Structure 1
Amino acid sequence: MTVHLREAGEADYPALAAVISAANPRHPMTADLLAHEVRDLRTHPLRPHLFQLVAERGGQAVGQAAVYQIPGMFHPDRYWAEVMVRPEAEGQGVGRALAGALEAHLKARGAREVLAGAYEDRPGDLAFLARRGFSEAMRFFDNVLDLGTFDPAPWTGTARLPDGLRVVSLAELVAERGEDAAWRAYHAAFAEAREDVPRTGEATPTLYDVFRQRVEHPQFLAEGVLLAVDATGEVAALTELYTDPADPDRLNTGLTGTRRAFRRQGLGLVLKLAALEVARQRGARSIWTNNASTNVPMLALNERLGFRPQPAWISMRWGRV
């Protein structure tokens, strides 16, 4: 049966989310979350490009593809590309058709660098990218902690913050300092810590007005943003927990980071332990986090806490800006 490709619209989000979830069950998608992410791209001050396709066979969505510029490491000639096919439609030319359409689109736009990726336990997907001129750029690991087996006893009474610092949630800091002051302190720490996170391209500064909009994200959890703050309300370190769109028993970790002046004092460990307690109180069964293979200190910390690595996500690159 012939595969029909067309540009996707808002009405296609439920079908696209179903394709993404089937193709990558480790990170399922919902229509609401997809719609929010598209709105974030379309309203971003950098005006990143976005192109989405849906592949249909017999009137049913069997694949999806997208090309977009990444606001967090923006360059006008750098793009992210993804092709996803439902498992039952693999090996039937759907992926090739979608990839061909993306390649034509990227060529027309004069792309000089394209990022994509696949899991290490999907050798066929990696070979698919390699045949198109992609090579490995970096590896990232999902690390998963089973909260049912986690024992905090080894750190009881030993993991503590330096004098003058305490742990509060973003919600608590807002109540103490006011919304704008709390969010600006959170943003300042986030922006500095994020600069040193390993990535496949240069980090674009996080604008405060854009950062502030994360409160509207469907997965945002104000009580899951934990901050090490001093007496003035300055944030020295942070860790973030987000809800999962498809699994109420799972929480996902955002950024865990420490400002440069406060590093190597154990702040990350204290905050991670506090986050695990928040997760336990919410009844979560697992916590997922993601780290680059080059982020040795964070990988070691997660391993100490009992996180276990999943198959690596291999980021692939074609060209270079």
Structure 2
Amino acid sequence: MTAATGLVIRETTDTDIPAMAQIMSEVNPSHPWTPEALAHEISFLQSHPLGLHLAQWIVEDAGEPVAVAAILQFAGMYHPDRYHAEIMVLPVAERHGIGTRLADTVAAHLRERGAREVLAGAYEHQPHALAFLARRGFTEAMRFYDNVLELTDFDLGAWAEHERVPDGVRVLSYPQLESELGPEAALHAFHAGFAEAREDVPRTGEATELTVEDFRRRFENPAVYPDGLLLAVTDAGEVVALSELWRVDGSPARLNTGLTGTRRAWRRRGLALALKLAAIRVAVSAGVTEIWTGNATTNVPMLTVNERLGFRPRPAFVEMKWGGV
């Protein structure tokens, strides 16, 4: 590896997306990216009606991409003065000052934008990265576990009684709901249940309203797995609880859990557990051997359900914050 002074840092173009996805996947193999998924995410951010900010850089050493950085705003937790920062350096390129130079580039851009709050983070088993953020004035805000369920020996039969749902409620996949209600009515019913359930998910800032159009665009994501979108639906067609499975491109033996949640009036009736079990049944039928989910360490109700099912935590992601809005 050459000295950092021989490196080129430049803003990215669409032609860099495959290299960016490769770097992001190698730096954080627990959460791989495909070029298609990254292109979808970039397009969603750039075209969002909130005017979300996105700036990205790539670092080349002798023409070879070795690091990426990004500043972005998320629609789900939006404030005009809040930004999320990411810096990823390939392991072979670490300890050569690349992270420092990228951090300086990111910091200068944030000053130009007048940022009042910046969120960044690293895993708890990466103390050098956490110390790097601490030296730049970041303090811990929240921790999130990756929880993993190994399905090889999961005994669904032992959980049969917990798959039952209250009278007047059925468990349907999203395609089944579409066939009953029609695509547009199904979308609105799913959105209504999802939007209320997500409001109480722990996060480091206030949740932004989820519009129907934002929700519609989720189905453009190449990782969407319609048969893995499990819904508790009343006889009147109201979605009162849900648990989502999403594909992980390049990892056919794994599915990720999106949101599992229940509308407030329907909580403490076993719906979350029943839907998690329905999702596990779908995964087992598809030959999947692992389900991954992410949970804030403060989300005791969901952590309790997951631990009961046999999910086991991996090292936590530590979200760090600078400033505040």
Partner of 1:232: 236
- Could you tell me which amino acid in structure 2 is paired with residue 237 of structure 1? A
Return the offset for 1:45: 1.1
Partner of 2:105: 101
* Equivalent of 2:203 in 199, 206, 223: 199
Return the offset for 1:159: 3.7
Distance, in Å, in 2 between the alignment partners of 1:245 and 1:52 is 23
Partner of 1:27: 31
Partner of 2:216: 212
1:165-188 per-position Cα deviation (integer Å, ceiling 9, x unaligned): 010000000011100011100000
Q: Any idea what SS the aligned residue of 1:224 has?
A: strand
* Equivalent of 2:140 in 136, 142, 147: 136
Partner of 1:60: 64
Q: Does 1:257 align with 2:261?
A: yes
Give unmatched runs, 5+ long, in structure 1: none
Partner of 2:19: 15
Q: Any idea what SS the aligned residue of 1:276 has?
A: helix
1:91-141 per-position Cα deviation (integer Å, ceiling 9, x unaligned): 011111111100000011100000001000111110010010000000000
Tell me how large the CA RMSD over aligned residues is. Answer: 0.8
Partner of 1:121: 125
CA contact (8 A) 2:150 2:311 kept: yes
Return the offset for 1:157: 2.6
Q: Does 1:299 align with 2:300?
A: no
Return the offset for 1:83: 0.2
Q: Does 1:273 align with 2:277?
A: yes
Q: Does 1:247 align with 2:251?
A: yes
CA contact (8 A) 2:163 2:275 kept: no
1:270-302 per-position Cα deviation (integer Å, ceiling 9, x unaligned): 000000000011111100000001100100100
Aligned-residue sequence identity (percent) comes to: 57
- Could you tell me which amino acid in structure 2 is paired with residue 64 of structure 1? V
- Could you tell me which amino acid in structure 2 is paired with residue 38 of structure 1? I
Moved segments of 4+, more than 2 Å = none
- Could you tell me which amino acid in structure 2 is paired with residue 5 of structure 1? I
* Equivalent of 1:286 in 287, 290, 295: 290
Partner of 2:323: 319
- The number of aligned residues is 321
Distance, in Å, in 2 between the alignment partners of 1:107 and 1:245 is 36
Partner of 1:153: 157
Scaled by the length of structure 1, the TM-score of the pair is: 0.99
CA contact (8 A) 2:10 2:58 kept: yes
Q: Any idea what SS the aligned residue of 1:221 has?
A: strand
Return the offset for 1:3: 1.3
1:32-63 per-position Cα deviation (integer Å, ceiling 9, x unaligned): 11110000001111010000000110100000
Q: Does 1:177 align with 2:181?
A: yes
Distance, in Å, in 2 between the alignment partners of 1:158 and 1:144 is 20
Distance, in Å, in 1 between the alignment partners of 2:79 and 2:66 is 31
Partner of 1:76: 80
Scaled by the length of structure 2, the TM-score of the pair is: 0.98
CA contact (8 A) 2:162 2:270 kept: no
Partner of 2:194: 190
Distance, in Å, in 2 between the alignment partners of 1:158 and 1:27 is 31
- Could you tell me which amino acid in structure 2 is paired with residue 157 of structure 1? E
Q: Any idea what SS the aligned residue of 2:40 has?
A: helix
- Could you tell me which amino acid in structure 1 is paired with residue 282 of structure 2? V
